[in-house]
Amino acid sequence: MTGERLLQVQDLTVRYQTQMGEIHAVSGVTFFVNKNEVFGIAGESGCGKSTLIRALMRLLPDNAKMSAQSIEYEGEELTRLSEAKFREKILWARMSLVPQSAMNSLNPVYRVGDQVVEAIRAPKNVTKSEAREPVTQLFDIVGLQPDLMKNFPHEFSGGMRQRAMIAMSLALDPGLVVMDEPTTGLDVLVQERILRRIREIRSQISSSIILITHDIAVIAEMSDRIAVMYGGQIMEQAPANDLFDTPCHPYTLGLKNAFPSIRNLQQKLISIPGSPPTLLGAPSSCPFLERCPFCVQQCSQRNPENITIQPLHEVRCVRHGEAPLLREKASEKETWRSLN
**143 vs 158, which CB is nearer to Mg ion?**
158
Nearest to ligand ATP of 55, 323 (CB atom):
55
Which of ligand ATP, Mg ion, none lies near 67, with the C-beta cut-off 5 to 8 A by kind?
A: none
Question: In terms of C-beta density within 10 A (0-12 exposed, 13-18 middle, 19 or more buried), how is residue 211 classed?
Answer: buried
Using the minimum distance from each CB to ligand ATP, give the nearer residue, 6 or 23. 23
Residue 196: count of CB within 10 angstroms of its CB: 11
Q: Which of 7, 47, 164, 176 binds ligand ATP (CB under 6 A)?
A: 47
18 touching ligand ATP, by CB under 6 A: yes
CB of 283 to ligand ATP, least distance (A): 13
Residues 6+ apart with CB under 8 A from 102: 161, 162, 165, 166, 180, 182
Which among Mg ion, ligand ATP, none contacts residue 18 (Cβ within 5 to 8 A by kind)? ligand ATP
How buried is 146 (Cβ within 10 angstroms: 0-12 exposed, 13-18 middle, 19+ buried)? middle
Angle at 45 between CA 271 and CA 33, to 5 degrees: 105
23 binds, among ligand ATP, Mg ion, none (CB under 5 to 8 A by kind): ligand ATP
**Residue 272 in contact with residue 337, Cβ under 8 Å?**
no
CB nearer to ligand ATP: pick between 281 and 321: 281
Q: How far apart are CA 321 and CA 218, in angstroms?
A: 28
Residue of 71, 34, 36 whose CA lies nearest to 56: 71
Among 121, 132, 161, 214, binds ligand ATP (CB under 6 A): 214
Beta-bridge partners for 233: 230
- Write the single-letter amino acid at 124: K
The answer to whether residue 182 forms part of the interface with ligand ATP (CB under 6 A) is no
Inter-CA distances, 147 with 111, 137, 166, 171, 333, Å: 11, 12, 17, 18, 53
Closest distance between ligand ATP and the C-beta of residue 276, in Å?
8
Report how far Cα 52 is from the mean position of its chain's Cα atoms: 8
**CB contact at 8 A, 193 and 221:** no
251 forms part of the interface with ligand ATP (CB under 6 A): no
To which H or E segment does residue 67 belong?
A: strand 64-67
- From 7, 12, 25, 179, residue interacting with ligand ATP (rule: CB under 6 A): 25
Q: What is the four-CA torsion angle of 226, 28, 177, 160, rounded to 10 degrees?
A: 80
Q: Is 197 in the site for ligand ATP (CB under 6 A)?
A: no
Q: Which of 49, 249, 291, 313 is the binder for ligand ATP (CB under 6 A)?
A: 49
- Select 46 or 283, whichever has its Cβ closest to Mg ion: 46
Contacts with Mg ion, residue ranges (CB under 5 A): 49-50, 100
| Total residues interacting with ligand ATP, rule: CB under 6 A | 17
Interface residue with ligand ATP among 13, 30, 34, 50 (CB under 6 A) is: 50
Is there binding between residue 16 and ligand ATP (CB under 6 A)? yes
* β pairing state of 38-42 and 225-230: parallel
108 belongs to the binding site for ligand ATP (CB under 6 A)? no
**Does residue 100 interact with ligand ATP by CB under 6 A?**
yes
Given the complex with Mg ion, which of 139 and 259 has the nearer CB atom? 259
Contact between 45 and ligand ATP by CB under 6 A: the answer reads yes
Closest separation between CB of residue 60 and ligand ATP, Å? 8
Binding residues vs ligand ATP (CB under 6 A)? 16, 18, 23, 25, 43, 45-51, 61, 63, 100, 214, 279
